[in-house]
Amino acid sequence: MSEVPGTGRVIADRYRLLDPLGEGGAGIVWSARDEVLGREVAVKEVRAPEEAPSAGGSEPSYSRLEREARAAARFSHRNAVAVHDVVVQDARPWIVMELVRGLALSDVLAADGPLSPRRAARIGAEVLAALRAAHDAGVLHSDVKPGNVLLGNDGRVMVKDFGITPADGLYGLTVTGEPIGSPEYLAPERALGRAPEPESDLWSLGVLLYAATEGRTPFGRDTAPGTLRAVSEEEPPPLRRAGALAPVIEGLLRKDPAERLTASDAERRLRILAAGGTGSPGGGAAGPPVPPPAEGAADGGPGGGTAVAAGDAGAGAGTPEPAEPPSRTGILVAVGALVALLIAGGLAWALANGDDDTDGRGGGKVPSGGATVSVRHGPGTPVGLAGLAHLV
């Protein structure tokens, strides 16, 4: 299969290789057993590039990968495959990661074809949550694509290889010799040789969502240079199958990074769509994200049920609004009128019976706690007159 050692070898006196999980241009990934902690892990051996662009051979690439793997280990998120350890053996880095049982999104798309917009939105929201956590920790992914998104058997969506995957066969495409990621998913600013930034990952997510719903990438050409030229100069073909997801994809695929949807707004829209809502119209950069509803709200929030964000112009369009309930002011006016009548009636009764007061102190006795007349405020618990102040 490759030059990678076979089953049973122990790496760094700790990780026993078990079975190969996959192989690509970046190397081979094994299931392995951590002999110290007694748990299963995934171990990735980084393969030496066949033609390293620099005079130093593969050493600069290995140093970069080791550095970025250690950076990726600084953050954790439920949607990111955790990096447990980085060890060096045979003069190359071995990256020890969380073992995820499941399928890559690329395999699912190849086997089943395009996804529904709602399912694609759910996957996109989880990917974006992982990207936001990484960006907050100062870590860029730089190669967001279906092959790096895992759909776990436990239902989780997991993003792997934050900054640690050399692109297959792409060494030498930049003047610096740094691998730049998969051309079809590369952001325009990166295709033009500029440094990556968080918005570059957002562009790649937009291409991923385009491919997931349309069944093909928008900029793929026969050659890598042709693809990079399309990425930097051409607009994506019109979306045919994305439905309500189209504005989000279009908002992520703006050539100018400053005009792309923000990560927070994109995630909010994706979660609305994943929950059955319609999302916000238009693909441009939006204002501040709408805060999530309070826990226990009737719409169930993004995590369950049908969620519609407050103030979302596109949500519920065409649905008749429910009849307005009686206003609080009207209820208070009615309560006040009733209280006034009861007080007036009590005074009249006291005056009418005042002649019976022989000691001049008044024979009508009022309990020390105030009036005990109860008034119902809607269907709730009776409220005493002394307790009406909180209603005003």
The CATH code of the domain that includes 172 is 1.10.510.10
CA proximity to 140, closest of 257, 241, 254: 257
Question: Given the DSSP bridges, would you call strands 39-46 and 83-89 parallel, antiparallel or unpaired?
Answer: unpaired
Domain membership of residue 160 (yes or no) is yes
Q: Are residues 222 and 136 in the same domain?
A: yes
Instruction: Assess whether 143 carries a catalytic annotation.
Output: yes
pLDDT at 73: 86
For 265, the token pair is: 């707004």
Of 214, 248, 250, 243, the C-alpha closest to 118 is 243
Are 172 and 120 contained in the same domain?
yes
Q: Which of 143, 161, 201, 312 is catalytic?
A: 143
CATH code of residue 42: 3.30.200.20
Please, which pLDDT band fits residue 27 given cuts at 50, 70 and 90? confident
- Categorize the per-residue pLDDT at 279 as very low, low, confident or very high, splitting at 50, 70 and 90: low
Per residue in 182-232, pLDDT tens?
899 999 999 999 999 999 999 999 999 999 999 999 999 999 999 999 999
Q: Give the pLDDT of residue 222.
A: 94
Between 180 and 16, name the one with better pLDDT: 16
pLDDT for the residue 192: 93
| Burial per residue of 330-361, b for 16 or more beta-carbon CB atoms within 10 angstroms, e otherwise | eeeeebeeeeeeeeeeeeeeeeeeeeeeeeee
**Same domain? 175 vs 214:** yes
What is the Cα 212 distance to its own chain's centre?
17
Tokens of residue 79, six digits: 């949607």
pLDDT-above-70 percentage for the chain: 61
Q: How many domains does the chain have?
A: 2
Quote the pTM value: 0.67
Q: Is residue 94 pLDDT above 70, yes or no?
A: yes
pLDDT confidence bin for 48, thresholds 50/70/90? low
The domain boundary residue, chosen from 75, 97, 119: 97
Closest CA to 45 of 59, 60, 64, 25: 25
Neighbours of 367 (CB within 10 A): 7
Q: Which one of 97, 126, 152 terminates a domain?
A: 97
* Amino acid 182: pLDDT: 87
Residue 43 CA to residue 94 CA, distance in Å, equals: 7
Strand-pair category, 383-384 with 83-89: unpaired
Is 90 exposed, middle or buried (CB count within 10 Å of its CB: 0-12, 13-18, 19+)?
exposed
Phi-psi region of 376 (alpha: psi -120 to 50; beta: other; left: phi over 0): beta
Segment 281-300, tens digit of pLDDT: 544 443 334 343 333 333 33
Domain assignment present for residue 358? The answer is: no
Domain extent, residue 143, equals 102-274
Q: Would you state the pLDDT for residue 60?
A: 60
Picking from 57, 70, 33, the residue whose alpha carbon sits closest to that of residue 163 is: 70
List, in sequence order, every residue forming a beta bridge with 97; answer none if it has no partner. Answer: 42, 83
Q: What pLDDT does residue 62 have?
A: 78
What is the rounded radius of gyration, in angstroms, for the C-alpha atoms of the chain?
A: 32
Using 50, 70 and 90 to split pLDDT, how confident is the model at 92?
confident
* Residues 85 and 109 grouped into a single domain: no
| Per-residue pLDDT tens over the stretch 340-383 | 444 445 444 444 444 444 344 333 333 333 333 333 333 333 33
Does one domain contain both 239 and 200?
A: yes
Query: What's the pLDDT score for residue 336?
Result: 52
pLDDT at residue 163, rounded to an integer: 74
Q: Check residues 103 and 69 and name the one with the higher pLDDT.
A: 103
- 114 and 257 share one domain: yes
Q: What is the pLDDT of residues 289-337, one digit of tens each?
A: 434 333 333 333 333 332 322 333 333 333 333 344 444 444 444 445 4
| Of 63-77, 122-136, 202-216, 341-355, the least confident | 341-355
| Residue 59, both tokens | 């050493």
pLDDT of residue 304: 35
Residue 34 in domain: yes
Tell me what the mean pLDDT of segment 246-274 comes to: 98
Strand 92-97 relative to strand 27-34, pairing: unpaired
**157 and 51 belong to one structural domain:** no
Classify residue 30: in a domain, yes or no: yes
- Residue 34 pairs with which residues in a beta bridge? 15, 39
Residue 203 near residue 255 (C-beta atoms within 8 A): no
